[in-house]
Structure 1
Amino acid sequence: MNTLKFTANENDGKLWQVSNEQIRHQLCRVNELHNGQMKAFEINTGSVNTSVLLIRQDNKFYAYANKCCHYKLPLSKGVLINNRLRCFAHGACYRVDTGDIEDHPGHGNLPKYEVEIVDDEVVLIAKKEDLEKLERIKIPEDFEIEPKPIVAIIGAGAGGFTCADMLRQNGFRGRIVLLTREGTLPYDRVQLSKQPSKKPQDLLLRDQSYYKKTKIELLCDSEVTNINWITKNITYKQLGNQLKSTPYDYLVLATGLRPRKLPSSLLGHDLRNIFYMRSLDDADKLVNKVKSPDINNIVIIGDSFIALELCGWLTTGLNEKKNISVVMRSKVPMLRIFGERIGHAIQKIHESNGAKFYSQATVTEITGHHNVVKFVELGTGESVPCDLVLVAIGSDLCTELYENSPIEMTDDGFVKINERLETSVDHVLAVGDICKYPLRVFNLEDINCQHWQMACSTGHQAADTILRYYLGQTKAGVRSLKTDFYTTPIYWTTQNNKTTIRYAGYTRDPENVIIHGDLEGEFKFVAYYIVDGYVRAVAQSKYEPLSSEIAEVFFHRRNIRKEDIEHDIWQPTKDYLSIVVEQSHLNHTTAIVNSHITDEYIQEFGDKQNRPALRGDLYMNYGTPQSGPQATCLPIGVGLSYDELTLLSCDVHRNSQNVRLFDIQTGRLKHTITGNQQMKFHRPSAVMSNARNNILIVERDYIYITEPDGRLVQTIGHRSIKQLYGIALFRDRYLLTIDSKATDNQTAENSRLLLFDPSSGQLVFEKPIVINRESEDILKEQNINHIQGKILPETTSKPRFLAVHNDNIYIADLGRSLIYGTSVRNQFEYSCTTVFGGQGRASGEMNDPSGLVIDSGGNIISADSKNDRLQIFSSNGEYKTTLKLNERIKRPSGICTNRAGTQFYVSCYLAGCVRAFNISY
């Protein structure tokens, strides 16, 4: 029996063995699930009934509970991209290799199970008690804390609680003091406006046993009155006005918001039966009062999320009918969030349930009888009868503690923080609604996004920042911690217990929107919000998991262009956006969208002198290594099949001229694609795969698209083509290549970039590659010229390889030993942005640069052909490091990597084989 163990699992197949403590359950055959795929399996025994999610990634299997830790919805309906699994509904995100929570909302990690491969069958092995768990908390049973350091967190909302939770689960062993002015355990605040009658115990983020187990010192009914920034001491007041204090080594400010009150200048602002919504206590008082038989007329002032969600609850969630009126200053509800068209549709939904709206109205007075509200008077002269007034007109910052302090504030009163959530005071961080931070996913500065997920995510980052101090910058445990705050905003709103809108991204201009779907009837739509020609946010209803898919598109810094979604051919549906995500994986030689290990290395160590080497350890040769005149194989282009089960290698030896397909695990030659009457092979130089596992082969005059067995599907070409080199996917749609001999005189200066539309085979764009001495001088003046070595004449130019990152195209000029960085904007407006390299052997110099790979951070990995090495440069061409390989690569040519970024495949031209390396540091 052949047995191979992993730590992941899932299946709906045979039950092999059950004991009192463990089950073995056959899920499926190995080949039933390809890399990048997942499937749910129901496990039904006499004592266990559960759903298990099996994921295959990088030829490994992982098995987890199939319920998201947030609201227990099935993860099998979610979005799987590289090492990230995102819930389809609310956007919680988990690491595939560990099951740990990667982004929020939600808390806790996925229960993880073991799998074995037994005679080509995937078998789940799990304890019954683990299969019954809904989440996994990483706290050992014998956990003990240390007296120092002390982290004090002021505020136990989403940001404060998440910071405490992630600190403890990721290895912090010092004291954690969590202070809250409320008298309850931390809870899910967003449910208060959606389901205010929900039982408090059902809203808790954790029960009391969690705080006991983790030894987090939760201090309820504790209001901080003073912070001594010099002595690092907090004074707080508890019940009975008893003053206490606690020292701290690290301080996290998470004081959040309070409801904005009616102005004291408004007559009637202090009458009875005026309610606000922020806390469990607020919800309890509101629910009890609303159910009173003497409450018939309810007026909501405001059109915020809280206002409209409570309107939905009042009109559809009560047993008794109430008269609900909404008074708002805007033309339609949520105008500044979703725009006028969607706001109008939301209003009609509430009106159909009996609510009445007073638009563009101001409240001039609230009149009462016996000190109880009776009428809301409007500036229009109308009087709206009321027995209860619910005020939801926004929130104010709870930042009084930081006024006149060393903490730097923005002009509009927010706490200013950097990418690590650090304030202007050492070891003081801020999270959640009170601060402004960089939103790197869109390269924005000083953003404040007041949503639950963003508060959780800032708390997570603050914990990672503190852990880096605590664990030390060089320990291995730091590697999984985020260096800088990086997330995609995502939130949701429920309007009438049935109608849900899910939103991902960020925009300040909700009117610049393209909407597809039905707003008036079924309320099934997709809204794309456009900024500078690109989609930067999406709102959708009934198109799951679209918002989560686009959140991942944004996270991986892929662009969706306005023209991609405004024409009929690019229908804004789930299917289209799935293609966008899939196609971002099409060209593994040029576009890496996962968290790449080279990017992690550069982020962690930068230009530090005492950094470890970035290593490559040989683990496989594809083809028989050979050299000298007896060599029968000269590999150039290299790629991976979409399922990452097959290595693709172009052989340009005069006696071969073919594309070889190798089994990725065994190195065995599976198949060879050779020329025939339909496909003329003279020098197949580049290869890639698409999401259908078709193979795209660049030949001298054509691009051939074939089935894996070599059957021709499509031929793409143009009568003016002379010599093609390189291939990449551009804008998730077009095929990009180089015509290196564009005119009859065959001067190198006339080489050009070509873009083909593979759906039609048409040439849609061509642009000369003109990087002459004049262009280089201009770049030098702009301080974006990073040429280190000798500059060779323009007449020696030989553009051969290329790579793409977003709208940036990098071209390796083998003849001049240079790499050009270019940018294509809008409707193919083309410009050169950087040039680097230059002939030589020193670091940053190169000699015949060839294959290129771009990692998730935009860093460039270049095969330096005649120097037999792989170098890494930043996106602007600054030299970073050279990979330390334990096996020589003789004349490296093409290069590609797996999606996880952990394995590099290098065509070794003079060794006659492709060498695969595991990358680590």
Structure 2
Amino acid sequence: MASHANVDVGPDLTEGVTLANFGDTPMLRGHVGKKAVLLVRVGDEILAVGANCTHYSGPLEKGIVVGDTVRCPLHHACFSLRTGEALGAPAFDPLPCWQVEREGDRIVVRERFASEPQRAGSAMGQPQDIVIIGGGAAGFACAEMLRRRGYQGRLTMLSQDADAPYDRPNLSKDYLAGKAPDEWMPLKSEGFYGESNIDLQLGTEVSGIDVSARVVTVTGDRTFPFDRLLIATGAEPVRLSIPGADQPNVFTMRSFADSRAIVERAKSAKSAVVLGSSFIGLETAAALRARGLDVQAVSLDVRPLEKVLGPELGDFIRELHENHGVRFHMGTSLASIGADAVTLSSGAELPADLVIIGVGVRPNTALAEAAGIATDHGILVDDYLETAAPGIFAAGDVARWRDGQIGQTHRVEHWVVAERQGQIAAENMLGAGKPFRDVPFFWSAHYDVTVRYVGHAEGWDRLEVDGDIAARDCLVSYKKGGKLVAVAAIGRDAQALEYHAHLYSNPKN
């Protein structure tokens, strides 16, 4: 993983500091031996935790403090300052904690101490069998949280994927670009599932859910009883009936296997065409340019990402890619695909040893529909992520829930949303009764520019730009009916994080 750690930054905290060292900020980065440590002022207390996020080593001193938590500026992971626990994905591993002592006016950091995460109630009231369908973000986060909260019953994950849960956002970013090795990709080590007594069954296709008998059936007629069930079947890429779409040079980007196959093909390819101007499609284009391929993007849209980010940012993203050699063909599509070229609907022909179809995904609702569980362009869930069938929950790309911020139901295909829904579903399976109130968040990397987006705007009637988009220093606000519903930030990480924290604590504002 990329590291922002620098253990030599700041003072030696074993020698002590004073409040004056903090200046006008609540955080002070220092070190204890070779370990980077963050001191944080919470009221009259001073707390000490590891200085780098356990997700991708983001520098926490550049994040924000909310109550007795600290939040990472890169991907908005949230940690307890008292226990170090990773309270909000995408981080799962806790921060180390240190003892802090006062010696007169000096604040001295002593030894590390071990802390335990919060546990659920007595094992006597826990369900005996929990089954999770899906090995993606939501499924993994649910299983990890169940064990973290002390669940001791049988826990089974049924995943169609051939790979153990992995870091999907990286598939179209550093991994595809050749900057991230295979060992970066798993969310946990190979031994985690055995050590945690999680029965992870890979390459397993679920054929049915019997709601009344409380049984999941997989291909081969094996059955798994459940007291609680999570449906986290995610979404699948939309596949178009274009002549030649079954050619061996045509790929979609969804799984680890997809990304590995594209990497292998790219080793001998010279030219690539990406159909679609979505975030995944454009990230893929950037990664293939990093590998030296000639890349052209084809899309029916007028400009890239306009429907999500608006025309100003859409034009900026297009120019950014063009400056890196990507050529765009907007307002058109593919008429046919050949072994080494594609033909556009306009009749133009483009060379293409490699073709990526990136025109969106659709939720995998078939299992739920066959089981009689209510769906509407996703599996319908209540505030606690439970379906109308008691004890059966849904989370991630397949779930449609009511967003407290905008007061309507929607389904959001964001990695962090899926992970946090999995975590909340796990706690609610154990009786926590926690409503899901998190605010959607995602990030998208294009060369040396990262866009961070908070909120959810399916439409807006006013767009405001604070700063300079061309200078890569801006906060774009999306408003509807006078209400701020989302922001997109470039070079304004802390502002995006503050907006996220504000909406999380005030979902109706």
Fold conserved between structures, TM > 0.5: yes
**Which residue is 1:162 aligned to?**
141
C-alpha distance after superposition, 1:210-240 (max 9, x if no partner): 2222211111111111222122111223xxx
C-alpha distance after superposition, 1:53-103 (max 9, x if no partner): 111213222211111121111111101122332111111112333322222
C-alpha separation between the residues in 2 aligned to 1:482 and 1:227? Answer: 24
C-alpha distance after superposition, 1:35-66 (max 9, x if no partner): 9822111223xxxx121111121322221111
C-alpha separation between the residues in 2 aligned to 1:112 and 1:490? Answer: 27
Is 1:438 aligned with 2:438? no
Is 1:256 aligned with 2:227? no
Structure 2 vs 1, CA of residues 417 and 14 (structure 1 numbering), >3 Å: closer, same or farther?
closer
Structure 2 vs 1, CA of residues 301 and 127 (structure 1 numbering), >3 Å: closer, same or farther?
same
Is 1:349 aligned with 2:320? yes
Structure 2 vs 1, CA of residues 13 and 519 (structure 1 numbering), >3 Å: closer, same or farther?
closer
1:28 counterpart SS class: coil
Structure 2 vs 1, CA of residues 153 and 34 (structure 1 numbering), >3 Å: closer, same or farther?
farther
C-alpha separation between the residues in 2 aligned to 1:345 and 1:14? Answer: 44
**Which residue is 1:301 aligned to?**
275
C-alpha separation between the residues in 1 aligned to 2:52 and 2:171? Answer: 23
C-alpha distance after superposition, 1:813-833 (max 9, x if no partner): xxxxxxxxxxxxxxxxxxxxx
Report if the CA contact (8 A) 1:145-1:173 is conserved: no
**Which residue is 2:456 aligned to?**
506
1:449 counterpart SS class: coil
**Which residue is 1:375 aligned to?**
341
Report if the CA contact (8 A) 2:142-2:425 is conserved: yes
Tell me which amino acid in the other structure corresponds to 1:308: L
Is 1:338 aligned with 2:309? yes
Structure 2 vs 1, CA of residues 29 and 256 (structure 1 numbering), >3 Å: closer, same or farther?
same
**Which residue is 2:258 aligned to?**
282
**Which residue is 1:465 aligned to?**
428
Is 1:200 aligned with 2:163? no
C-alpha separation between the residues in 1 aligned to 2:12 and 2:279? Answer: 48
Structure 2 vs 1, CA of residues 452 and 222 (structure 1 numbering), >3 Å: closer, same or farther?
same
Alignment map for 1:847-866 (pairs within 5 Å): none
CA shift, 1:164, in A, is 0.8
**Which residue is 2:434 aligned to?**
483
CA shift, 1:305, in A, is 1.2
Tell me which amino acid in the other structure corresponds to 1:297: S
Q: Residue 212 of structure 1 is aligned with which of 194, 206, 212? A: 194
Report if the CA contact (8 A) 2:28-2:39 is conserved: yes
Alignment map for 1:684-703 (pairs within 5 Å): none
**Which residue is 2:93 aligned to?**
108
Q: Residue 235 of structure 1 is aligned with which of 195, 205, 217? A: 217
C-alpha separation between the residues in 1 aligned to 2:304 and 2:460? Answer: 13
**Which residue is 1:325 aligned to?**
296
CA shift, 1:165, in A, is 0.8
Tell me which amino acid in the other structure corresponds to 2:94: N
Structure 2 vs 1, CA of residues 137 and 397 (structure 1 numbering), >3 Å: closer, same or farther?
farther
Report if the CA contact (8 A) 2:86-2:93 is conserved: yes
C-alpha separation between the residues in 2 aligned to 1:147 and 1:540? Answer: 43
Q: Which has the larger radius of gyration?
A: 1
Is 1:271 aligned with 2:247? yes
RMSD: 2.6
Structure 2 vs 1, CA of residues 229 and 63 (structure 1 numbering), >3 Å: closer, same or farther?
same
User: Bigger CA drift: 78-87 or 253-262?
Assistant: 78-87
CA shift, 1:145, in A, is 12
**Which residue is 2:478 aligned to?**
529
1:401 counterpart SS class: helix
**Which residue is 1:494 aligned to?**
445
CA shift, 1:523, in A, is 2.9
C-alpha distance after superposition, 1:86-145 (max 9, x if no partner): 1111111123333222222222222222222233432222249x8xxxxx88599xxx99
Q: Residue 95 of structure 1 is aligned with which of 80, 83, 86? A: 80
C-alpha separation between the residues in 2 aligned to 1:268 and 1:31? Answer: 68
Answer 1 or 2: which has greater strand percent.
1
C-alpha separation between the residues in 2 aligned to 1:147 and 1:341? Answer: 52
User: Bigger CA drift: 147-156 or 321-330?
Assistant: 147-156
Instruction: Give the unaligned 5+ runs of structure 2.
Output: 1-8
Tell me which amino acid in the other structure corresponds to 2:302: K
1:102 counterpart SS class: strand
Report if the CA contact (8 A) 2:127-2:228 is conserved: no
CA shift, 1:193, in A, is 0.5
Is 1:552 aligned with 2:476? no
1:545 counterpart SS class: helix
Tell me which amino acid in the other structure corresponds to 1:420: Y
Structure 2 vs 1, CA of residues 43 and 113 (structure 1 numbering), >3 Å: closer, same or farther?
closer
Q: Residue 159 of structure 2 is aligned with which of 176, 180, 189? A: 180
Instruction: Give the unaligned 5+ runs of structure 1.
Output: 1-10, 16-24, 131-135, 469-480, 560-805, 807-921
Tell me which amino acid in the other structure corresponds to 2:459: D
C-alpha separation between the residues in 1 aligned to 2:67 and 2:153? Answer: 34
2:46 counterpart SS class: strand
C-alpha separation between the residues in 1 aligned to 2:212 and 2:502? Answer: 44
The normalised TM-score by structure 2 is: 0.91
Between the two structures, name the one with larger relative contact order (CA 8 Å, sep ≥ 6): 2
CA shift, 1:147, in A, is 10
C-alpha separation between the residues in 2 aligned to 1:274 and 1:511? Answer: 38
C-alpha separation between the residues in 2 aligned to 1:148 and 1:439? Answer: 28
**Which residue is 1:390 aligned to?**
356
How many residue pairs match? The answer is 496
CA shift, 1:250, in A, is 0.3
**Which residue is 1:452 aligned to?**
415
Report if the CA contact (8 A) 2:451-2:489 is conserved: yes
Structure 2 vs 1, CA of residues 246 and 149 (structure 1 numbering), >3 Å: closer, same or farther?
same
Tell me which amino acid in the other structure corresponds to 1:218: L
C-alpha separation between the residues in 2 aligned to 1:98 and 1:408? Answer: 40
Tell me which amino acid in the other structure corresponds to 1:269: A
Structure 2 vs 1, CA of residues 446 and 232 (structure 1 numbering), >3 Å: closer, same or farther?
same
C-alpha separation between the residues in 2 aligned to 1:35 and 1:149? Answer: 52
Tell me which amino acid in the other structure corresponds to 1:283: S
2:340 counterpart SS class: strand
Tell me which amino acid in the other structure corresponds to 1:191: N
Report if the CA contact (8 A) 1:314-1:324 is conserved: yes
1:54 counterpart SS class: strand
Tell me which amino acid in the other structure corresponds to 2:307: R
Report if the CA contact (8 A) 2:208-2:370 is conserved: no
1:361 counterpart SS class: coil
Report if the CA contact (8 A) 1:211-1:218 is conserved: yes
C-alpha distance after superposition, 1:494-547 (max 9, x if no partner): 012x11111111111256311133334x33322111122232211111122121
CA shift, 1:553, in A, is 2.1
2:497 counterpart SS class: helix
Report if the CA contact (8 A) 2:280-2:358 is conserved: yes
Report if the CA contact (8 A) 1:12-1:43 is conserved: no
Structure 2 vs 1, CA of residues 457 and 215 (structure 1 numbering), >3 Å: closer, same or farther?
same
Report if the CA contact (8 A) 1:178-1:217 is conserved: yes
Report if the CA contact (8 A) 1:185-1:207 is conserved: no
Report if the CA contact (8 A) 1:298-1:323 is conserved: yes
C-alpha separation between the residues in 1 aligned to 2:83 and 2:20? Answer: 23
**Which residue is 2:285 aligned to?**
311
**Which residue is 2:132 aligned to?**
153
Structure 2 vs 1, CA of residues 558 and 431 (structure 1 numbering), >3 Å: closer, same or farther?
closer
The normalised TM-score by structure 1 is: 0.51
Q: Residue 29 of structure 1 is aligned with which of 7, 10, 18? A: 18
Tell me which amino acid in the other structure corresponds to 1:531: K
Structure 2 vs 1, CA of residues 150 and 190 (structure 1 numbering), >3 Å: closer, same or farther?
same
- % same residue: 28
C-alpha distance after superposition, 1:689-734 (max 9, x if no partner): xxxxxxxxxxxxxxxxxxxxxxxxxxxxxxxxxxxxxxxxxxxxxx
Report if the CA contact (8 A) 2:275-2:297 is conserved: yes
C-alpha separation between the residues in 2 aligned to 1:223 and 1:252? Answer: 15
